[in-house]
A and B are shown apart, each in its own frame.
Chain A
Amino acid sequence: MLRVCWKGANAAARKCLCGKVAAHPLQHCRRYTSAGNSGSAAGKIVAASLLTVGGGLGGTILYAKWDPKFRANIEKSVPYSDQIFEMALGPPPPPFIPLQKKPGKVEPLQISSVSEASKDSKQPKAKGKTKEKQLEPAPVEAKPAVEETQALSPQTIEEASAEAAHIISAMSEVQSVPAPGTSHEAASAESEAQTPPPPAQSAAADECHECASHEAALKERPVEEVAARLAQQDKAEQDTLAALAFSLEEELGVSAKLTLQAIGAQEAALAAIGTHTQRLREAMDSEDPPDKKSAQWRELEDALSERSHAVDQAGQSLLQAKEQLEKLRVVINGAKESKIDAARPQILAAEENLHSMIVDLDKVVTKVQTAQTEAKIVSQYSELVNEAKVQFQKELSSITPEVQANWKGLTGKLSADDLNSLIAHAHRRIDQLNRELAEQRVREQIRIETALDQQKQEHQIVVESAVKTAIQHNREEQRLEQEKKMQEVREVMEAEMRTQLRRQAAAHTDHLRDVLKVQEQELRDEAQEALSSKIMEQETHYRRQAQEQLDAFTLDMNSAYARLKGMEEAIDSHVVAEEEARKAHQLWLSVEALNYTLKTAAADSPTEPLEAAVRAVKESCADNEFAQALATALPEESITRGVYSEASLRARFYGIRRLARRVALIDETRNSLYQYFLSYLQSVLLFEKDQEAPPTKLAPHDLDTFKLLAYATYSIERGDLELAAKFVNQLHGESRRVAQDWLNEARLTLETKQVVSLLSAYANAVGLGTTQAP
């Protein structure tokens, strides 16, 4: 396509050269066609690329809409894609966070809250009871446990949570008393008799109490406090015990007295009733003359009154005794509630006494009651008999009005009619009585049956009551026996425990003895060790001190000796130094002489030979290597012949310069006569500065003869023979040959001068060194 365009352009250009007008439309056409061709191709390509890109974008967006992860990836990797996505699809979906469920915690919380709530609700109720704080959780726990006995799982959780709550409460509330816990339980068990305890409750109570005891154990007080508290408790116990015992005895005494009184009264009443009944019976049965009868009746009345009196008294005393027994019971309960073990036997005894008293009282009361019933029967019988008698009397009197009451003594006084009527009456009476008897028999049968029934019932009731009382008594007896047995067992246990404790105490004392022995030994050893170590310390200290003293003394001696030595050495060194100074002075003098000889150079002749001066120098510094070396370093020529002065060299230099300028071109290669002529010409025609300051660094173009000579002239004019010699040394060819001698002489002079200056500097230094400051 490009080639086509290019060709077209070329052709157009060529055509342009020929004729523009014709070329242009063609050119345009060609351009159009080529453009058209290229345009269609380009258009195709553009369209294809657009399609691809659009497809890619659309696909990406659609897939991102479907897959948010893909969208997130693209947003992360391609910048600004998140904006595009937001425009096209809307905001991204919210991130998916898995919800964490914690069902396990909710329930215990609920239950604990329930327990808390129940605890709170039950607390005032629990506090209403007169219990110690330790027992509060027990009923609190008991009640929820009681309430929720239906559901088992909540109960267990409840118990656990209640336990936990209890632990928390116990930790905050507990006043730990490491003493009797069993009585607590017993008391709590007893006092809980109001609410029938389910089995779980006692277990819970046990658990709870264990927790409490655990918590109590955790918060143990220090020993002294515990001992003090125990002592305090013991004392309190003793006091209460004494008080209890006292009160018990008092009450017992009083109740015994009253009971005896009551029993006495009852027995008196019994006796009275017995006598009364007896009298009554006698009065009934006896056939005494009327005066005796009246006496009997009077006696009977007396007996009756006595009996009623006695009964009343007995009743009163019974009441009193019962009251007292109640009091005693209350006191005993109170004593039981005080929970002092030592009072137990007393309580037991008191209870036994109480029981026996009650039993006696009851017995006596029953006796009295039976007597009373008998008396009632007898009185009823007597009443009946009296009634019959009266009736008979009335009948008899109705029949025989004259006859008096006592019909037995009537046998001589009565007539035949009276007798007949009496007999007829008697027969009639007998018939009647027989009829009555038969009737009575029948009625009796029925009555007996009813009476039997009644009696059965009454008997039943009585039996029941008797059984009840007997059971009660039995129960009481058993309880008392049990308590007695318990007491005995406890005593036995106590005795055993005491023996065991004694044994343990014995073992403990043995162990203590052994331990003490061992400790004694250990302590002894320790003390011994301490003593020996202290002794050694003291010894070492003493030794150290002695050593220190010795050291100090030796130090002083040494220092004194050293000072002495120092002083000697100083003196010696002084001598040496003076010697040195003298030598240095000599050396200096000889060097000065040498210097002086250098100055003896005349204008054109060299100096005197330095031999003598050098010899003098060598003599003066015979032991000084440096000076010797220096002295020997002087060149032979200077020693034998002497050296030229600088001034002469300077003067000579100008001749050299002129000559060197003239033969500047002559060297190994060019040394014909013609060259000589040329070099002479050059020297005449070349105009240069006489003196030129030499640069610090010589460049190759500076190695020209004329330049060098200029630098050398400059240096020599400034008095720098060395530099001038250096520059002259750079000459080569004929110029160099011409200047060779001068160079040698200059070298000699310089060497000598150097050595002499070194020597003089050295001599000066030595002299300065040996000079002692005043």
Chain B
Amino acid sequence: MSEKELGQKWDRCLADCAIKVGAGLGLGIVFSVVFFKRRTFPIAFGTGAGLGMAYSNCQNDLRSPYLVLSNAAKEQ
């Protein structure tokens, strides 16, 4: 069903966001602990990166129907 698609997308988006933020967080923590002497910026950076990636992914996913592929544009 087309109406369920959006919900599914949002679900994915959220899931992805959670994963990415978590992974970023984790990596951030790891990096901050391991490489950057418990400074907070890698955590923020990791979280932010994770959030950003999740946001971008979500956006992309949501945009995907509207994407005009270059070959198609060239063809047109």
Contact = CB atoms under 8 A, between A and B. Distances in A.
Interface string B48-65: 000000010011001101
Contact of A741 (B2, B58, B59, B63): B2
Nearest to B1: A741
Contact of A663 (B6, B55, B58, B66): B6
A630 interface: no
Contacts of A741: 1-3
B3 A738 contact: yes
Contact of A740 (B2, B55, B59, B63): B2
Interface string B11-43: 000000000000000000000000000000000
Contacts of B5: 737-738
A734 B10 CA distance: 14
A37 interface: no
Interface stretch (A181-189, A324-332, A592-600, A669-677): A669-677
Nearest to A657: B3
Contact of B3 (A666, A671, A673, A739): A739
Contacts of A297: none
A739 B62 contact: no
Contacts of B59: 671-673
Nearest to A741: B2
B66 A742 contact: no
Contacts of A737: 2, 5, 65
Given A663-B6, A739-B3, A668 B66 contact: yes
A671 B58 CA distance: 11
Nearest to B2: A741
Nearest to B59: A673
A106 to B, nearest CB: 118
A655 interface: yes
Contacts of B65: 737
A673 B2 contact: no
A656 B63 contact: no
Contacts of B1: 741-742
A577 interface: no
Interface in A681-732: none
B66 A671 contact: yes
B2 A739 contact: yes
A659 interface: yes
A659 B2 CA distance: 11
A671 B2 contact: no
Contacts of B62: 666, 671, 673, 676
Nearest to B55: A673
Nearest to B64: A671
A739 B62 CA distance: 16
A648 to B, nearest CB: 12
A734 B1 CA distance: 14
A663 B3 CA distance: 11
B11 to A, nearest CB: 14
Contacts of B2: 737-742
Q: Please indicate which of the listed interface residues B1, B55, B58 has the most CB atoms of chain A within 10 Å of its own CB.
A: B1
Classify the interface of chain B: helix, strand, loop or mixed. Answer: helix
Interface string A654-665: 011001000100
B58 A742 contact: no
A671 B3 CA distance: 17
A742 B2 CA distance: 8
Nearest to A656: B3
Contacts of B63: 671-672
B66 A738 contact: no
A655 B3 CA distance: 8
A48 B5 CA distance: 104
B56 to A, nearest CB: 9
A735 to B, nearest CB: 10
Contacts of A734: 6
Nearest to B68: A668
Contacts of A666: 62
Q: Please indicate which of the listed interface residues A652, A667, A676 has the most CB atoms of chain B within 10 Å of its own CB.
A: A676
A111 B63 CA distance: 136
Nearest to A669: B66
Interface string A475-515: 00000000000000000000000000000000000000000
A725 to B, nearest CB: 14
A673 B63 CA distance: 9
B52 to A, nearest CB: 11
B55 A659 contact: no
Contacts of A667: 66
A652 B66 CA distance: 25
B70 to A, nearest CB: 16
Interface in A726-761: 734, 737-742
A366 to B, nearest CB: 175
A130 B53 CA distance: 168
Interface string A14-55: 000000000000000000000000000000000000000000
Given A671-B63, A737-B65, A742 B3 contact: yes
Contacts of B66: 667-668, 671
A351 B55 CA distance: 181
Contacts of A656: 3
B66 to A, nearest CB: 5
B4 to A, nearest CB: 9
A663 B5 CA distance: 13
Nearest to B7: A659
Q: Please indicate which of the listed interface residues B1, B3, B63 has the most CB atoms of chain A within 10 Å of its own CB.
A: B3
B3 A659 contact: yes
A123 B68 CA distance: 141
Interface in A347-399: none
Contacts of B55: 673
A738 B6 contact: yes
A666 B64 CA distance: 13
Interface in A618-662: 652, 655-656, 659
Interface in A307-344: none
A672 B63 CA distance: 7
A668 B2 CA distance: 17
A228 B1 CA distance: 135
Contacts of B6: 659, 663, 734, 738
Nearest to A667: B66
Contacts of B3: 652, 655-656, 659, 738-739, 741-742
B42 to A, nearest CB: 25
Contacts of A652: 3
Contacts of A676: 62
A383 to B, nearest CB: 197
18 contacts: A652-B3, A655-B3, A659-B6, A663-B6, A666-B62, A671-B59, A671-B63, A672-B59, A672-B63, A673-B62, A676-B62, A737-B2, A737-B5, A738-B2, A738-B3, A739-B3, A741-B1, A742-B1
Given A659-B3, A737-B5, A740-B2, 20 more contacts: A652-B3, A655-B3, A659-B6, A666-B62, A668-B66, A671-B62, A671-B63, A672-B59, A672-B63, A673-B55, A673-B62, A734-B6, A738-B2, A738-B3, A738-B5, A738-B6, A739-B3, A741-B1, A741-B3, A742-B3
Among all A-B residue pairs, the 6 with the closest Cβ atoms: A741-B2, A740-B2, A668-B66, A671-B63, A741-B1, A673-B59
Interface of A: 652, 655-656, 659, 663, 666-668, 671-673, 676, 734, 737-742
